[in-house]
Amino acid sequence: MSAISDRLKNVSISASAAMTQRARELAANGIKVISLSSGEPDFPTPAHAIEAAHVAALAGDTKYPPMDGTPALKAAIIRKFKRDNNLDYDASQIVVSGGGKQVIFNAMLATCNPGDEVVIPTPSWVSYADIVKFAGGVPVAVPCHEQTGFKLRPEDLEAAITPRTKWLFLNFPNNPTGAACSRAEMASIAEVMLRHPNVWIMTDDIYEHLVYDDFQFCTIAEVEPRLYERVLTMNGVSKAYAMTGWRLGFCAGPKELISAVSNVNGQNGGGIATLTQAAATAALDGPQDLLKERAAIYKERRDFVLDRLSEVEGLRCHRPDGAFYLYPNMSGLIGKTSKGGRKIETDVDFVMALVDEHHVATVQGAAYGMSPFFRISYATSMEKLGEGCARIAQFCRDMC
Ligand SMILES: Cc1ncc(COP(=O)(O)O)c(C=O)c1O
């Protein structure tokens, strides 16, 4: 009899993690791999956040934490929601978890009954569907097409909602497309949701601060206050403050829901590392100028990669408003053969041949639920981006 639960059998290993692993294997063999697969800022954690963790450790802040977050961090999160999103919450409406990922995991475990449907605008972050399945729910993909800027169209959302729908997930700026949602677009999504009072909304705002060309981020609970009682607003410090390794995410929402999420939090971790909470408090309360400074750098990188790739025959690249990803369409290369003799039938063939022959790691669109595309993360140096783009261009040029 297998030791593995049925629950786990439906859950796959993240494709971006698998590609990062492939790149590491090649690197271990002495090959210089350009890794454009990882969704991780290449900047350091702000020094004042590191300092705060150090001070907390020396001061003896090393005991079990409260299950839902320290009072100091919750207060900083409340200030953050007011400052950035004009949303009011009190401490009983906040839970802190081990990364945004754990927030979503806990929320789904706390709320999904077998067969509950979760509407996921797609392309989408690889983990959403797996987390939903893990919790017994059924992911329902709503396509957000390239022709409409990978945005969620209200009519497509409306069509996806059934009497079994429990949740709608929103993630704009989006991983993997970088598509963002204007206030008017968010208002039309909200209008659909007002017609469906039994559906909850989880908004993953982790890329909130990564928007370019004066794009104004907005979040649904603020755009439509009548939805406030049905929205779980999720955010974290990983992407904005380059704190991926510290593992801290948080969410805010109606008390009853938050108390259920907190209950799961207590069972599967018992609260988040005290030093991480001290660092996150300092990041959220400290100087915020670095957000704009870093966004300006990401924007330069986006423009650079867009320019390079739009010259490549066979690729078509949408201009994203946020996050740090590009999602080029590679349909123009389907049916061709790489210089190394690989027939390119799918985006999986494309990214595998690219990493093996030209040593550039990217991720296939299939992993995000929409083909034929591939995801490039530009959260890396200009030097690596230049080399990566040159190799991609060569790889495509060499196909016949
Ligand atoms: C859309 C999205 N949400 C959540 C996360 C997870 O963030 P965290 O590091 O806080 O778990 C990621 C990470 O790649 C992401 O892309």
Question: Which domains does the chain carry?
Answer: 6-44+290-397 (3.90.1150.10), 48-285 (3.40.640.10)
Residue 12 has pLDDT above 80, yes or no: no
Q: Per-residue pLDDT averaged across 269-278, rounded?
A: 94
Q: Which atom of ligand 1 is nearest to the CA of 39?
A: 14
Q: At which residue do the structure tokens 């300006």 appear? A: 296
Quote the pLDDT of residue 9: 77
CB atoms within 10 A of CB 349: 19
Give the list of residues 6+ apart from residue 361 with CB closer than 8 angstroms, or none. 19, 20, 22, 23, 33, 34, 35, 36, 37, 351, 355
342 Cα–ligand 1 center, Å: 33
> pLDDT-based confidence at 236, cuts 50/70/90?
very high
Has residue 38 got a pLDDT over 90? no
For 16-25, 51-60, 293-302, which range has the lowest pLDDT when averaged over its residues?
16-25
Q: What is residue 3's predicted lDDT score, i.e. its pLDDT? A: 86
pLDDT of the residue at 217:
98
| Per-residue CA distances from 172 to 125, 208, 220, 234, 323 (Å) | 11, 8, 10, 12, 8
Instruction: Please give the distance, rounded to the nearest whole angstrom, from the Cα atom of residue 325 to the centre of ligand 1.
Output: 13
Is pLDDT at 228 greater than 90 in this prediction? yes
- Ligand 1, atom nearest to 124 Cα: 1
Q: Is the CB of 39 under 6 A from ligand 1?
A: yes
Exposed, middle or buried: residue 229 (CB in 10 Å: 0-12, 13-18, 19+)?
middle
Question: 355 in ligand 1 pocket by Cβ < 6 Å?
Answer: no
Q: Is the pLDDT of residue 188 over 90?
A: yes
For residue 213, which phi and psi values (nearest 5 degrees)? 55, 40
Ligand 1 centroid, distance to 38 Cα (angstroms): 11
Q: Of ligand 1's atoms, which has the minimum distance to the CA of residue 125?
A: 1
pTM (2 decimals)? 0.96
Distance 375 CA to ligand 1 centre (A): 15
Question: Distance from the CA of 30 to the center of ligand 1, in angstroms?
Answer: 30
pLDDT at residue 294, as a whole number: 97
| Residue whose structure tokens are 């030791």 | 3
The predicted model gives 23-30 an average pLDDT of: 89
**CA-to-CA distance for 93 and 78, rounded, in angstroms?**
9
- pLDDT of 369 reads 96
pLDDT in tens, 53-101: 999 999 999 999 999 999 999 999 999 999 999 999 999 999 999 999 9
pLDDT band at 21 (very low <50, low <70, confident <90, very high): confident
pLDDT tens string 327-381: 999 999 999 999 999 999 999 999 999 999 999 999 999 999 999 999 999 999 9
Is 99's C-beta closer than 6 angstroms to any atom of ligand 1? Answer: yes
Q: Which residues, 6 or more positions from 8, have their beta carbon under 8 angstroms from its beta carbon?
A: 134
